[in-house]
Amino acid sequence: MVVFLVVLVGFGLWGLADALVFYPARGEADAKVKLRDYLHAAETAGMFSASHVSVDDPKRTIAELEAREPELRRAAADRTTRAGQQADFELKRYQYLDSLRKMWRLDKSRTTFADPVALMQELDNQSKSWSNAKPLDAYDMLFQWIFVVVGLAGGAWVLLVIARASGRKYTFDDVENRLTLPRGGKGGGDTISAGEIRELDKRKWHKFFVTVHLRDNRSYQFDLLRYKPLEDWILRMEEVSGTGDKPEEPVTVAHAGPVRPEDVLEIDPNTHG
């Protein structure tokens, strides 16, 4: 159980680090590239002013541009024309807004610019030290938070299971091979000795469960994963009781002696098959 706890909590913390630090940092690096491209496209299209490059309602604007993206891509293919430059400006606007949306930071504070000229110069200077920024995928941030919830919630559940299990103690008498069940549950305080065991039902062994059937028709199901070393104790009682699986005896084949010529079956050469 401790292994499951470590794996789940580690998984959740890994997702949390990605969601709060690494993925936003990657998204910011990509957004800077997209913003610089957007400002340069605005300059080329003659739209290089605060009123033209600023977006007052980014959510509405990105929805409108997204619907026109295929059209804008076709028109922006020829940037030697005024129409192509205008289309490229709008396409770059969409790409910048989309980079903000992917890291959940699409708000007006990121889309209004008081001095786009100074901002573009600053980004141009910074770009000399930029490395290639890998854009975020649309569901990257969502998946990281799903990992956080699954990992930490699962870890909390395992911790609760461990806490509940720690309050239930099995004891084992090595001399008499007797197991005493914890008080408070089914069969609380009962004892099981090796001589009382009729059989072990191991059909759920792969799920860490075993049912012990006694000669007086009582039966108990044990959770081997939560309680250590319960598995070793039960296997020991099974061995002492003699109810375990017995190895198959080898089959002895009697030696019939040497093969005699009359025992050999002749094959008719005219037979085909």
Dump pLDDT digits (tens) for 64-90: 999 999 999 999 999 999 999 999 999
Residue 269: the pLDDT is: 52
CA distances from 12 to 3, 141, 145, 186, 258 (A): 14, 14, 9, 35, 72
Confidence of residue 133 (pLDDT cuts 50, 70, 90): confident
Dump pLDDT digits (tens) for 156-167: 998 887 777 676
Look at residue 150 and tell me if it is in a domain.
no
Do 96 and 28 lie in one domain? The reply is yes
Say what the alpha-carbon torsion angle 34, 39, 44, 48 is, to the nearest 10 degrees: 160
pLDDT tops 50 at residue 267: no
pLDDT tops 70 at residue 17: yes
Look at residue 248 and tell me if it is in a domain.
no
Do 133 and 188 lie in one domain? The reply is no
Which H helix or E strand runs over 15? helix 2-17
Nearest to 189 by CA among 179, 198, 199, 197: 179
Residue 184: the pLDDT is: 59
Q: For residue 167, report the phi and psi dihedrals to the nearest 5 degrees.
A: -85, -5
Look at residue 9 and tell me if it is in a domain.
yes
What would the mean pLDDT of 112-141 be, rounded to a whole number? 93
Do 7 and 80 lie in one domain? The reply is yes
Do 112 and 220 lie in one domain? The reply is no
Do 137 and 199 lie in one domain? The reply is no
Dump pLDDT digits (tens) for 218-265: 888 888 877 778 888 888 888 888 876 655 555 555 555 555 655 544
Look at residue 106 and tell me if it is in a domain.
yes
Cross-sheet strand order for the sheet of 191-193: 171-173, 178-180, 191-193
Dump pLDDT digits (tens) for 26-59: 999 999 999 999 999 999 999 999 999 999 999 9
**Domain of residue 209, CATH code:** 2.30.29
Count of structural domains, the chain:
2
184 sits in the region (left: phi over 0; alpha: psi -120 to 50; else beta) called left
Higher pLDDT, 126 or 208: 126
Cβ neighbours around 238 below 10 Å, total:
19
Q: Coil, strand or helix: which one is 212?
A: strand
Look at residue 232 and tell me if it is in a domain.
yes
Q: Identify whether the C-beta of residue 227 lies closer than 8 Å to the C-beta of residue 165.
A: yes
The pairs formed by 128-134 with CB atoms below 8 angstroms and a separation of 24 or more are 130/29, 130/32, 130/33, 131/29, 133/26, 133/29, 133/30, 133/32, 133/33, 134/26, 134/30
Do 52 and 181 lie in one domain? The reply is no
Do 178 and 137 lie in one domain? The reply is no
Look at residue 266 and tell me if it is in a domain.
no
**Segments forming the whole domain that contains residue 175:** 171-241
Between CA 97 and CA 92 the distance in angstroms is: 9
Q: For residue 216, report the phi and psi dihedrals to the nearest 5 degrees.
A: -90, 15
Sign of CA dihedral 27, 28, 34, 38: positive
Look at residue 158 and tell me if it is in a domain.
no
Do 131 and 179 lie in one domain? The reply is no
Nearest to 185 by CA among 234, 222, 237, 228: 222
Do 107 and 235 lie in one domain? The reply is no
Residue 271: the pLDDT is: 47
User: Given 95, 125, 141, which residue is the final one in a domain?
Assistant: 141
Residue 190: the pLDDT is: 84
What would the mean pLDDT of 173-186 be, rounded to a whole number? 80
Look at residue 149 and tell me if it is in a domain.
no
Do 109 and 18 lie in one domain? The reply is yes
Cβ neighbours around 203 below 10 Å, total:
10
Do 130 and 190 lie in one domain? The reply is no
What's the whole-number average pLDDT of the chain?
A: 87
β-strands 209-214, 197-201: how paired? antiparallel
Do 12 and 96 lie in one domain? The reply is yes
pLDDT tops 60 at residue 146: yes
Residue 188: the pLDDT is: 64
